[in-house]
Every structure is written in C-alpha cells, then in structure tokens.
Amino acid sequence: MAKARHRQYIQKVRADLGMEPAWPPASHRRLGDVGVFRKGQFERKGTLKSLYGIDFTPRPIPLNRASYHSDSKGSVQIQLNAGIGADAGLLTADGSVLLKFARARSVLFHATGCRTEEIDDIEAIDSRMLALRRTGVWPDDQVVITEVTHAAFTTVLMSRRRGDRIALQATADPGVTGLDILAASGGLQWAGGSTAGLQVLSEGELTPLYRVRGVIPHWFKDAESGFLGEADDEVEKWSVDEVSSESFETDDVDDEEEDDEEEDDGGEDSDDD
C-alpha cells in the first residue's frame, strides 16, 4: 500500500525545501510550541513556557520577503495563460495556469511574501532540553518548534492520478503574470480538468513551513578523537539537533492508508501537449 496522502505531501515538500511542511497546510504553527509527531503530523502538547517554564525571545531578523516553490522534483509542469483545450470546455486566457502532473500524488507547493521567525539564543534552549532529558523529564519523541515561515499567500495542490491536469484562474487580478498567478492576491479558482486530491488556492497568512529540534542519541565511536572508552559514563549520550517527522517514522503501514483511485494506473504517461 502507498503511504497516506498527508505523509506523501510532507515527504515531497520537505525533500524539495528542506523544511517541515505543516499538515494540514492551513495549520497554525508558533515558536516554542512543544509536541510529538503522530503518523507524521505534529501534535501540540503545550509550549516551552507552559510545560517547563522556559522563556525565549524571537531572534531579530531584518524585514525581508522570500518565495518558496516545490514541484515534486520536476513532476509538475506549469503552463501559464493556457487552458486545457476546447474538448474540456476551457479557453486560453490571461491570468490562467494549467498544471500537468506526471505522477499520482505529485505536489505543487507555492508560497510568496514569506518571512521567517526563529528563536534567539538557541544554544540556551538546547542546554535546557539536554538537562531535562538527563533527568528523564523530556520524552525521547518530543520536539519543539524553533523556526516558522509565515506566508502572505500559499497555494497547494496534489494530483490523484498520473496525467492529471488542473486549470486555475486568477479571480480578481486577471493582469497577473508568471508564477505570481499561483499567489494571486484576489485568490484562485478551479477552472476545469481533474479534481485535486488536496487543494489550497492562494490562501492568505498561513505558516506552511517550520523547523523543529529534538533530543537525539549521540553515539560516539572509539575512532573519534578524544574518546576514552574507560570514561564511558562521563560521555554525553545525547545531543540536540534539527529533526523532522521522518525521524520518528516506523516501517508499519497504517490501517487507514489506501491506494485506490489515487495511485498510478500502470499505463503509459499521456503526452498530448
């Protein structure tokens, strides 16, 4: 069986961008949130302050904006100002975009007007987490959100089948051009084609990306410089580092995971450009 849809979304966006994508994409993430990953999803338990009395401040970052784009490593083709064709009842138009998905469950992720927020003096937080782990207070699978990315507009689509085509239209700003169509300030609407397995169209003010840190085993080797086997009890067995939901994955397949109409049909890729 294939992985559940949300796990595939998380895995593919993280592979492209190197950050943890929020699931669902509209979920709100905040600095200092503490939780665990359950079946790939972040489950909030509290905050550094509420659970451990740990205060922190955001690190000052110059005001800037960035864009993030993921297309499942090139498996989503984008044609601007193009409809699917007369046979699908669509016409070529300005402010439109046609998405072609080469594989089932390919993901298009596009976020613009992004700004990053992160915890200042992260070394102090790491030290507190290690101290809590040594006393058994910090659970092995627990993590803390140390960085969040806020986006002015976010668009997310996931295909159901190989060869799916989805047409989108900028609803209130037909003059928008280029990839900016995917983050039209007036929003997007489905204009025809396949039905997406997941659809978030130019939603505003989300936190679609974040990073977490956790306490992980630090296994020293005899060959490492400075290691003394007889002083094993004095060697730090734990370290704090960036982790992801994948760090806590198991090989078990969930009962609810299914691969019906969303899987590849095994046929040849269509090519009717």
Nearest-angstrom CA–CA distance, 91 and 110? 24
Other beta carbons less than 10 A from residue 134's beta carbon: 13
**The pLDDT value given to residue 57:** 95
Which are the contacts of 120, defined by CB distance < 8 A and separation ≥ 6? 56, 57, 58, 59, 60
Tokens representing residue 252 in the block: 């078990």
Q: What is the structure's pLDDT at 18?
A: 94
Are 207 and 26 in contact by the 8 Å Cβ rule? The answer is no
- Percent of the chain, pLDDT > 90? 52
Longest C-alpha distance within the chain, in Å?
A: 77
33 pLDDT more than 70: yes
Using CA atoms, how far apart are residues 96 and 191, in angstroms rounded to an integer? 9
Q: What are phi and psi of 135, to 5 degrees?
A: -90, 5
pLDDT of 39: 84
Provide mean pLDDT across the span 158-168. 93
176-190 tens-digit pLDDT:
667 778 877 777 888
Provide the 3-class DSSP secondary structure of residue 51.
helix
Cα gap 152→223, rounded to integer Å = 49
Other CB atoms within 10 Å distance of the CB of residue 208: 30
Task: Indicate if the pLDDT at residue 122 is higher than 70.
Answer: yes
Helix spans in the chain (H): 5-17, 48-52, 122-134
Whether this prediction's pTM lies above 0.85 is answered by: no
Strand spans (E) along 159-197: 165-170, 188-193
What integer pLDDT is reported at residue 94 of this predicted model? 65
Q: With a cut of 90, say whether residue 68 has pLDDT above it.
A: yes
Torsions phi, psi for 183 (to 5 deg): -135, 40
pLDDT digits (tens, 9 = 90+) for 206-248: 999 999 999 988 765 444 444 444 444 444 688 899 999 988 8
Q: How many other CB atoms are found less than 10 A from the CB of residue 172?
A: 12
